[in-house]
Amino acid sequence: MSQLKIYNTLARDKQVFVPMVPGKVGMYVCGITVYDLCHIGHARMMVVFDYVYRWLRASGYEVKFVRNITDIDDKIIKRAVENGETLSSLTTRMIKQMDQDLGALGVLPPTVAPRATEYVPQMLSIIGKLEENGLAYKGEDGDVNYAVRGFPGYGKLSGKSLDDLRAGERVDVNTGKRDPLDFVLWKSAKESEPAEAKWDSKWGMGRPGWHIECSAMSCALLGEQFDIHGGGMDLQFPHHENEIAQSEGAFGHQMVNYWIHNGFVRVDNEKMSKSLNNFFTIRDVLKEYDGEVIRFFVVRAHYRSPINYADSNLEDAKNALTRLYTALADIDLGPDAPQVDWSEEHAVRFREAMDDDFNTPLAIAELFELATKVNKTKSAVDARQLKALGNVLGLLEREPQQFLRAPVGDAGALDEARIAEAIEARKAAKKARNFAEADRIRAELTAAGIVLEDKPDGTTNWRRA
């Protein structure tokens, strides 16, 4: 039986995964700052750590998966003020929309979804420990800062040395800091900010900095040291680097055993950016593509590789997923949810792929091998195995016709009743040997994105193109 190996960003190597407590895993993933709709970069991160979560559970682990929600932040305050609404109104609405978007992508809820505002006392406690340890100080402007040069391990996750870092490089420079590399732990309250963005502390009224939020939530829910911490590659520095400095500076020992970072999403081979007008929300993409197509687009790439968002790549993902569902379409799978036979050859190779740093491209290849076999044999046993293995990755969870006939978006799609009427009319036209009318109906359906599957005994099935 293969052993799970994970590429540990901290070690810069693939390592055998050994949890701190046998049979149990604690995993923390940095979630969303809820001031706006989620974009496709968020979609990738969420889907990646969803299938990591699923694979750990499929491997027999009891997983406590914590994915936080940042509901206090400069961007949130700015957006709420611009909208003329309270912070809680904005964040509650954005969380609801985030949950809807992630549901469309088949992302399971985490075990715990803590909100930063619920853990301010824990944040203040850690800041107090850092101050006692000589790693935090109050600046002249009232902010409490972390003294980066006082922590010898700073830079070990990102590989950046202090000498290479320059003031102004992703680091705020203000007069309240002793060193421009220091970062804010507690921001002094400003008169212009709303009351709900202010908490009392021994350093005065204020609110937490972004980095301290995750140190506090992960410690409160998983302990001072835990198994896995994940997030996008863009968070490696400075966010995750600063988390390490905070947690290890406060508690005096290692924070996380395995760091996992997923790669970037590019758009037509360019960096996604609002200024380039190539910035897409999940909702934008769901108007054109089924949520499972977006999920499949993410899953079939290795999580550490960059992926390129382009219409051609989404179309290719759609066609590939359609092939898998089509293989299952005419086979009676029975009433019960299929279970994976892990001794079967495709499942053995699937497991080996997933245990090799979550190598989903190779795992997906086994699904297509199985689909080819199903197309030849029409075996219900093979079809159930295909569906069960797909389910491990959050794929093929619907009835085939639910996917194949699902309309995407809400504009102009023919409903199923209208399609059924057209198929019956075409059948009647062919029976009356009015082949011109039959061809006209077929062309009309084709133009509306409906693919008819004709067999010797007539049109037995249809799907949306």
Higher pLDDT, 420 or 89: 89
pLDDT at position 91: 98
Summarised one tens digit per residue, pLDDT across range 422-458 is 777 787 777 788 878 778 878 877 777 778 877 776 6
Q: CATH 1.20.120.640 occupies which residues in the chain?
A: 310-404
Residue 427 annotated as part of some ligand binding site:
no
At residue 274, does pLDDT exceed 80? no
Residue 219 annotated as part of some ligand binding site:
no
Residue 274 annotated as part of some ligand binding site:
yes
CATH class entry, domain 5-265: alpha beta
Higher pLDDT, 39 or 413: 39
At residue 42, does pLDDT exceed 70? yes
List the CATH code of the domain at 310-404.
1.20.120.640
Residue 30 annotated as part of some ligand binding site:
yes
At residue 6, does pLDDT exceed 80? yes
pLDDT at position 175: 65
- Please report which confidence band the pLDDT of residue 167 belongs to, taking 50, 70 and 90 as the band edges: very low
Average pLDDT over residues 257-266: 96
Higher pLDDT, 175 or 312: 312
Percent of the chain's residues with pLDDT above 90: 78
pLDDT at position 171: 47
Residue 214 annotated as part of some ligand binding site:
yes
At residue 1, does pLDDT exceed 90? no
pLDDT at position 461: 76
pLDDT at position 173: 52
- Please report which confidence band the pLDDT of residue 412 belongs to, taking 50, 70 and 90 as the band edges: low
Average pLDDT over residues 186-198: 94
Q: CATH 3.40.50.620 occupies which residues in the chain?
A: 5-265
- Please report which confidence band the pLDDT of residue 168 belongs to, taking 50, 70 and 90 as the band edges: very low
Alpha-carbon gap, residue 118 to 101, rounded angstroms: 24
Average pLDDT over residues 284-313: 96
pLDDT at position 339: 97
Summarised one tens digit per residue, pLDDT across range 111-151 is 999 999 999 999 999 999 999 999 999 999 999 999 999 99
pLDDT at position 450: 79
> In terms of Cα–Cα distance, which of 282, 279, 299 is closest to 290?
282
- What mean pLDDT is reported for the chain? 92
Higher pLDDT, 180 or 385: 385
At residue 411, does pLDDT exceed 70? no
